[in-house]
Amino acid sequence: MRRAKVLLFVLCITAIMGCKDAKVEGAQVISPKEAHTLLQTNNILLIDVRTPEEFDSEHIQNAKNFDFKSNAFNEAIKTLEKEVPTIVYCRSGKRSTKSIKNFRDAGFTKLYMLKGGLIKWKDKGYKTVTE
């Protein structure tokens, strides 16, 4: 019986730890509200790492599209100003999480990642635009 309780305790702790927000090395993960506040300043770069088709169907106003799945992604982001604070987002957060390493490797110094991507952005009532 004691062994079963210990096993149950370990499983509960594992489940709780798995529910914590993933840490993204090299970027500060920010909420849609925090991103919206940052975007009110003029000196923020907003990068959408989804495909051009996804971007054209809907994106956050003033975002620039750099397709993470493109073979030219790394070369494309090297053309951007690396010292400007940069917010990266995708649909749900998976591609933006993966892309942070590429931005870091390209020399970006102040990176933010939008938690939950465009899905959470819209869930919180923030607007999007279409091409």
Are 101 and 88 in contact, with CB atoms under 8 Å apart?
A: no
Q: Model confidence over 48-94: pLDDT tens digits?
A: 999 999 999 999 999 999 999 999 999 999 999 999 999 999 999 99
Is residue 4 assigned to a domain? no
Please name which of 89, 78, 81, 39 lies closest in space to residue 62, comparing C-alpha atoms: 39
pLDDT mean over 8-35: 63
Q: Tell me how many helices (H) and strands (E) the chain has.
A: 6, 5
Sheet with 28-30, strands from edge to edge, namely 28-30, 111-114, 86-89, 45-48, 64-65
Its pTM stands at 0.82
Domain count, the chain: 1
CATH of residue 77's domain is 3.40.250.10
| pLDDT at 131 (0 to 100) | 76
Is residue 108 assigned to a domain? yes
Give the contacts of 9 (CB within 8 A, at least 6 positions apart): none
Sequence-ordered strand ranges (E) for the chain = 28-30, 45-48, 64-65, 86-89, 111-114
Range of the domain at 84: 23-123
